[in-house]
Amino acid sequence: MDAVALTFDDGPYPSTTPALLAALGGVRATFFLWGEHAAAHPDLVRAIAAAGHAIGNHTWTHPRLTALDAASRDREVRRTQDLLAALTGVRPVLFRPPYGDTGPDVASLVGAQGLTEVLWSVDTRDWAGASAGEIVTAASAVEPGGVVLLHEGRPATVEAVPRLLADLAARGLRPGPVRG
């Protein structure tokens, strides 16, 4: 089977993360966690890690990184790295810039912190209020080796996950985490 990566940004959220973990069942994914949310819900960060999912850095406050000075960018990434490492015992190796907002300065910072920047090949637009059906339809465009962008905190995303997993299996695609 050909692999595709499922990624979930912006969590954790008490309202949806437990249901999302249940919907994924034994399927592993990558969770790009927002530092402020992780600090507010450390139990959920530990639950994501305990379920075997990869955890990536998604900055502390979710800013547009290219609009920040170098010191502010560094703080956004480093503070989240330190928290996630303290909560899970594993320092993240994957990074996703909020909004996909990146450039040479962001790439340099991320590389200097030992992180690999991960963007996506399919945007499900769940962040824009897409329905579960629209999310499944969008995700069906993923090709082998692709990366699907999804978000925590969206009930429609949780609802879409079982159908999305069934669709991928029917296409002979094996969902999993990003390989760092």
| Catalytic-role residue among 37, 41, 58, 151 | 151
**Nearest one of 100, 99, 147, 145 to 122, comparing CA atoms:** 147
- Residue 9 annotated to the active site: yes
For residue 41, indicate whether it is catalytic: no
In sequence order, the 6+-apart residues with CB closer than 8 A to the CB of 11 are: 17, 20, 31, 33, 34, 37, 44, 48, 151, 152, 153
Those residues whose C-beta lies under 8 Å from the C-beta of residue 50, and which sit 6 or more positions away, are: none
Q: Where are the alpha helices (DSSP H) in 64-154?
A: 70-88, 104-112, 132-139
Instruction: Find the angle CA(15)-CA(80)-CA(92) to the nearest 5 degrees.
Output: 95
Q: Which candidate in 2, 9, 10, 41 is catalytic?
A: 9
Q: What 3-state DSSP class applies to 174?
A: strand
Query: What CA–CA distance (Å, rounded) separates 105 from 25?
Result: 38
> Are the C-beta atoms of residues 26 and 39 closer than 8 Å to each other?
no
Catalytic site positions: 9, 151
